[in-house]
């Protein structure tokens, strides 16, 4: 079987490592993988570093699309991906998550009748103002095999008309849905041992383990809205004063630019003057694992980071009004606060005084990537 894997954004590069590793370790005589990098994240720290750290093979094709408005970026990707598909004619196209690269790959393949395999299918925030929600819904309904990380994802798909019945051959008109567990749980468990042996970011920043807070901000609803961005940063400054803990804030290049443009001068000055708030460049995956596994609390608007907080048994404040990972909120491991300064501070106090945390196996047993490869071979 020949598959083409589409990647482009940081999370997909990381997720691809799990499947590539499973193919190389268990299925190299049965599955050939070609990798297409759309170039959606074009900054070297946001892309190349992850290839190096994760041991992912070099991309066979790189579209170098770069940033842009949603329509223009997605169209360029579709054009490039379609050209490659017509040349290679794979047995399936594999996409991850909910980015514009995901959408472009799914549409390009489905329109020329190449089966689409969607990993992280069925996730829903039920907020269509998020571009990611539009991408994931559209992609699911173009797909032939849908692999959900959780039972909630399966239930979401059934609500939208997908059948849980199993038959031998999957087609776009008779797709199959499976709960496989989460490939990011595979990755986190695999790479956490490597991260422990590496002198990394915790030591470089002179952080005290279990006594610092990790925060990531990148969603347009937070970074592009002046009031929201200022409320979040004011909340972080207040939490730092109350906790006396360091806060580590890895920033995407785009977020850093928006902060320069939109932060109130007094807020920007207080942030730059606070030596306990470490504003740093995007961290590599091993460094992120070190930060996540050694911090006391995670504050994030990232779907991936909030889930990784759960993997490493850390409480999480979610800077969104909804989340696709409803399990961690319903289980009391995370709180949704939107961009409210008041709610952010309140959630900090609530989560840091709570004692009775539990971490059920919502995301599988660490072997999702192997199960996905097996099911592709069986049903395509």
Active-site annotation, residues? 218
Both structure tokens of 120: 């992280």
Question: Which contacts qualify for 350-359: CB closer than 8 Å, 24 or more apart?
Answer: 351/297, 351/315, 351/316, 351/317, 352/243, 352/296, 352/297, 352/315, 354/315, 357/313, 357/315, 357/332, 357/333, 358/331, 358/332, 359/310, 359/313, 359/333
d(CA 352, CA 216) in angstroms, rounded, equals 18
What strands lie across the sheet with 334-336, from one edge to the other?
277-280, 246-250, 212-216, 297-300, 316-318, 334-336
Residues with Cβ < 8 Å from 111, sequence gap 6 or more? 82
Nearest to 122 by CA among 179, 64, 185: 179
364 close to 148: Cβ distance less than 8 angstroms: no
């Amino acid at each position: 079987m020949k598959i083409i894997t589409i990647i482009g954004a940081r999370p997909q590069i990381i997720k691809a490592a799990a499947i590539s590793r499973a193919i190389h370790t268990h299925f190299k005589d049965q599955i050939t993988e070609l990798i297409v990098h759309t170039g959606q994240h074009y900054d070297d720290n946001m892309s190349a570093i992850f290839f190096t750290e994760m041991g992912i093979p070099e991309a066979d094709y790189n579209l170098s699309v770069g940033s842009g408005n949603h329509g223009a970026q997605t169209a360029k990707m579709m054009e490039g991906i379609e050209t490659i598909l017509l040349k290679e004619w794979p047995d399936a196209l594999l996409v991850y998550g909910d980015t514009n690269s995901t959408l472009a790959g799914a549409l390009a393949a489905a329109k020329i009748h190449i089966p689409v395999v969607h990993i992280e299918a069925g996730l829903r925030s039920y907020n269509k103002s998020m571009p990611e929600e539009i991408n994931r819904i559209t992609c699911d309904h173009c797909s032939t095999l849908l692999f959900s990380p959780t039972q909630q994802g399966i239930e979401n798909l059934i609500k939208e008309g997908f059948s849980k019945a199993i038959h031998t051959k999957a087609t776009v008109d008779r797709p199959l849905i499976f709960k496989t567990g989460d490939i990011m749980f595979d990755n986190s468990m695999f790479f956490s041992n490597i991260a422990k042996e590496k002198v990394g970011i915790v030591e470089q920043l002179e952080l005290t383990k279990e006594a610092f807070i990790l925060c990531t901000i990148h969603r347009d609803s937070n970074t592009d809205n002046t009031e929201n961005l200022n409320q979040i940063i004011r909340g972080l400054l207040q939490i730092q004063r109350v906790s006396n803990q360091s806060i580590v804030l890895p920033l995407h290049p785009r977020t850093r630019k928006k902060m320069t443009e939109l932060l109130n001068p007094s807020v920007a000055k207080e942030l730059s003057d606070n030596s306990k708030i470490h504003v740093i460049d995007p961290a590599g995956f091993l460094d992120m694992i070190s930060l996540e596994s050694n911090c006391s609390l995670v504050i994030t608007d990232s779907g991936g980071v909030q889930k990784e907080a759960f993997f490493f048994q850390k409480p999480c404040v979610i800077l969104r009004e909804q989340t696709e990972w409803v399990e961690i909120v319903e289980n009391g491991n995370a709180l949704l606060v939107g961009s409210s300064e008041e709610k952010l501070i309140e959630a900090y106090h609530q989560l840091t005084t709570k004692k009775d945390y539990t971490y059920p196996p919502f995301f599988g047993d660490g072997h999702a990537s192997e199960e996905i490869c097996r099911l592709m071979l069986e049903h395509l």
